[in-house]
Amino acid sequence: MNQSSSTSSLSAIGVIAVAALSICLACTGCKDVPRHAEDPASASAPAPTPTPAPPPSQQAATQSLSPSAQDLIVCFGDSLTAGFGTDPGESYPDVLQQLLDARGYHYHVVNAGISGDTTKDGLDRIQRVIARHPQLVVLEFGGNDGLRGLPLEQTQANLATMIQQLQQSGAQVALAGITLPPDYGPDYIKKFDAMYPALAKKYHLHFLPFLLKNVYGVPGDMQSDNTHATAQGNKQVALNIEQLIQPLLKH
């Protein structure tokens, strides 16, 4: 077959194909061809537009600031750590995160405070903290033991065991102390207060004698129960903790 005949044949086939397609569309009312049955959702939703990947520099920045890439600081304690009586985002660990971010540190702060916890409760969940492989743990327990009049020997032993287990895991430990209201009697309070410096000396810890330093007794910084800091007070508590752990931080 010569080239002229071939071209004529192809043109004829094209005309027939166009005519057949026109008849088909007319019979179906110009509806779209049905989608595959195995993809029912695609009939009602448009296909998603792929999100372009960020440039390499932005990817690196995101990775360096992600929790998995940051050193972990766990604030481990009771209601004073949990932020009892304040709104979400107003606990001292929340404010501490903001302070560290503003100062250029790349740490991820986790609030592991539970209201009402005693040192025994803390000891019961210490392995959950260790499992997160923190670089630093701020340990704050004992207030509920004292308020319940629990044996101080056991309280101190529980704190010591938590410190030992954290240090054995490779975590650095900073200890935050607390005290009791004066109506608990001077003898009991004296023994209670003495626990914290004794533990700090024995285990070579950075130590804050009183978590509520420059907060307790300051108008607007304490809640009506005279035990827990307000949102305003937690800002100062966060500053106290930042000063406590600053020698342990790295840029």
More confident residue, 169 or 20: 169
Task: List the one residue out of 136, 81, 83 whose CA is nearest residue 112.
Answer: 81
Does 228 participate in catalysis according to the annotation? yes
Q: What is the pLDDT of residues 47-104, one digit of tens each?
A: 343 434 444 433 333 333 344 447 999 999 999 999 999 999 999 999 999 999 999 9
Annotated active-site residue 42? The verdict is: no
pLDDT-derived band at 251, boundaries 50, 70, 90: confident
- Is residue 85 a contact partner of residue 226, using CB atoms and an 8 Å limit? no
| Alpha-carbon dihedral 124, 128, 131, 136, rounded to 10 degrees | -90
The answer regarding whether domain 67-248 maps to CATH 3.30.360.10 reads: no
Q: What is the pTM of this model?
A: 0.73
Active-site residue (options: 79, 91, 117, 193): 79
User: What is the domain partition of the chain in residue ranges?
Assistant: 67-248
In this prediction, residue 226 carries a pLDDT of: 94
Among 21-25, 184-188, 189-193, 215-219, which stretch is predicted with the lowest mean pLDDT?
21-25
Examine the residue annotation and report whether 94 is marked as an active-site residue of this protein.
Answer: no
- Catalytic-labelled residue, pool 39, 87, 187, 225: 225
Which two structure tokens, joined as six digits, stand for 5? 């005949």
Residue range 88-146, pLDDT digits in tens: 999 999 999 999 999 999 999 999 999 999 999 999 999 999 999 999 999 999 999 99
> What whole-number distance in Å separates Cα of residue 40 and Cα of residue 189?
70
